[in-house]
Structure 1
Amino acid sequence: MIKSNILALDASTEALSIVLHFQGQTFHHFEECPQQHSQKILPLVDELLTKANCKLKDLDVIGFGQGPGSFTGVRISVAIAQGLAYSTNLPLVGVSTLAIMAQQAFEQNGSLSVYPSIDARMGEIYFAHYQVQNNLMLLVNQECVIKPDLLNNDYIATTEPSVAVGTGFKTYPDALNDFENVTINTDITLPDARYMLAHVEAAFLAGDVVKASDAQPKYVRDTVTWKKLPGRE
């Protein structure tokens, strides 16, 4: 159960989503509105704060989707979070858009192993592998951008039952034809800020936060190799 007072937002894809968890209640907005994020996001933040009878200064932390996704959308997420944090001196937590979708698969369906993806255009997808630990989806391999027909056993384990989510596999479902253990969940295609709350609170309680001036996007396109993270199997 989330106990912190959190505002979280994501504009990294064609979806715009905002969640406010305040005094045990959750207020949420999600819509697909390509190229309208910058006009809509602040009025929607104000709308949720008004519904909750909450002021920014009443919050503990602000979370933002830090990408990967569209370059413009990622920058909007970071810039809006920075602006809100500057005005209140609140700490920030960035959450991967891939982690958000993996967390949704776990919280909605109990999926323990998830391959989230986002269509990166130009015939590529943003891709990663997440596994659950203590009710939180944690990264197994570095997030990367890859042509979907290059996915092989170096990227996808063939033994454990897993779920694939996101627009990457909606666009390229045949990329998983060789992996009978992986099922595509077509209900989860875009990141939803509601599923940032667990990550934001965990980071906040651990002190893993940044100040506004240090908030950074995660574009991933610079990632050209696939490496196991330390301590992950």
Structure 2
Amino acid sequence: MKPTLLAIDTSTENCSVALQIGDKVISREMESPREHSQRLLPFVQEVLKEADTQLSAVNGLVVGVGPGSFTGVRIGVSIAQGLAFGADLPVQCVSSLDAMAIEGVRKHPTDWVISAIDARMGEIYWRIYKRNGEQLTTFAGAQVNKPDQLNLAELLSEYGFQTNESIGYVGTGWQTYYPQLVATMPTAPDSLECTLPTAAAMLVWAEQHNQQAISADELEPLYVRNEVTWKKLPGR
């Protein structure tokens, strides 16, 4: 029987919550970049109420740790820590890039996926994936670069891309920097119709990739930019 898992994510403009209980997933989400702190806990309460259950009955949390908006990532991770400490729950961490990739390829199966988030300051957070059945193989971890400094054709070739294979893209980085990114590609990629990560997709990634659970005091944001620091809850 599947564990009961609560997933939360505020790493981008999307405030998203999903509860997996048995084979059912109950979710809430809204694009509200300036209201994450006001909306996240009410969304949690709503999905628990709809499932007629309580946080004490949840087996673990799945948390979107970024990369994305620094403020959004901080809000999601901080609230996740509070929930995990309060209910003594293990935590599984999922990247926003991974969540978009798995959601995109489930909508439109493709051989390769390039996930990219607009990181502001003329940069993108990005990661490349190869589809193997229903799962995605990853290569290097999440990275941050200026779009015109990437050579995606060279990277894909290093990872084993063949000219007869298809490529899809997800994320806001493509909306903002499509011309620059396509100029570095071996062929024009197709949109997989996924712009922002969702908590429901994070549940799928965590299950498929058997994400290792950590304790609440080990939970940290994935900023990618090294100059950004994170302060844990006082006394932790």
Residue type of the alignment partner of 2:206: V
Counterpart in 1 of 2:54? Answer: 55
Aligned-residue offset at 1:178? 4.4
Counterpart in 1 of 2:197? Answer: 191
Identity of aligned residues (%): 37
Contact 1:136 1:198 in 2 (8 A): no
User: Is structure 2 residue 84 aligned with structure 1 residue 78?
Assistant: no
Counterpart in 1 of 2:41? Answer: 42
Residue type of the alignment partner of 1:112: D
Residue type of the alignment partner of 1:173: Y
Counterpart in 2 of 1:10? Answer: 9
Residue type of the alignment partner of 2:7: A
The runs of 5 or more residues in structure 1 that have no matched partner are 224-233
Q: What does the per-residue CA deviation read over 1:172-222, in whole Å, with 9 as the maximum and x for residues that have no partner? A: 11121342534141621111111111222346xx57110001011100113
Among candidates 216, 219, 223, match of residue 215 of structure 1: 219
Counterpart in 1 of 2:234? Answer: none
Q: Which runs of 4+ in 1 moved over 4 A?
A: none
Counterpart CA distance in 2 for 1:138 and 1:24 is 25
Residue type of the alignment partner of 2:51: A
User: Is structure 2 residue 167 aligned with structure 1 residue 162?
Assistant: yes
Question: Mean alpha-carbon deviation: is it higher for 34-43 or for 128-137?
Answer: 128-137
Q: What does the per-residue CA deviation read over 1:45-90, in whole Å, with 9 as the maximum and x for residues that have no partner? A: 0011001101112112110101000111111111111111111111
Aligned-residue offset at 1:134? 5.7
Counterpart CA distance in 2 for 1:127 and 1:213 is 27
Residue type of the alignment partner of 1:16: C
TM-score (norm 2): 0.86
Question: Mean alpha-carbon deviation: is it higher for 104-113 or for 36-45?
Answer: 104-113
Q: What does the per-residue CA deviation read over 1:90-116, in whole Å, with 9 as the maximum and x for residues that have no partner? A: 110010000000000121112331100
Question: Mean alpha-carbon deviation: is it higher for 12-21 or for 179-188?
Answer: 179-188
Contact 1:161 1:182 in 2 (8 A): no
TM-score (norm 1): 0.87
**CA RMSD, 1 decimal:** 2.0
Counterpart CA distance in 2 for 1:37 and 1:117 is 22
Counterpart in 1 of 2:230? Answer: none
Q: Structure 2 vs 1, CA of residues 73 and 138 (structure 1 numbering), >3 Å: closer, same or farther?
A: farther
The runs of 5 or more residues in structure 2 that have no matched partner are 228-236
User: Is structure 2 residue 173 aligned with structure 1 residue 173?
Assistant: no
Counterpart CA distance in 1 for 2:24 and 2:12 is 26
Counterpart CA distance in 2 for 1:139 and 1:54 is 35
Q: Structure 2 vs 1, CA of residues 4 and 111 (structure 1 numbering), >3 Å: closer, same or farther?
A: farther
Structure 1 counterpart SS, 2:15: strand
Question: Mean alpha-carbon deviation: is it higher for 89-98 or for 108-117?
Answer: 108-117
Counterpart CA distance in 1 for 2:8 and 2:43 is 10
Question: Mean alpha-carbon deviation: is it higher for 15-24 or for 209-218?
Answer: 15-24
Residue type of the alignment partner of 2:55: L
Counterpart CA distance in 2 for 1:202 and 1:211 is 20
Structure 1 counterpart SS, 2:68: coil
Q: Structure 2 vs 1, CA of residues 4 and 138 (structure 1 numbering), >3 Å: closer, same or farther?
A: farther
Residue type of the alignment partner of 2:212: D
Counterpart in 1 of 2:19? Answer: 20
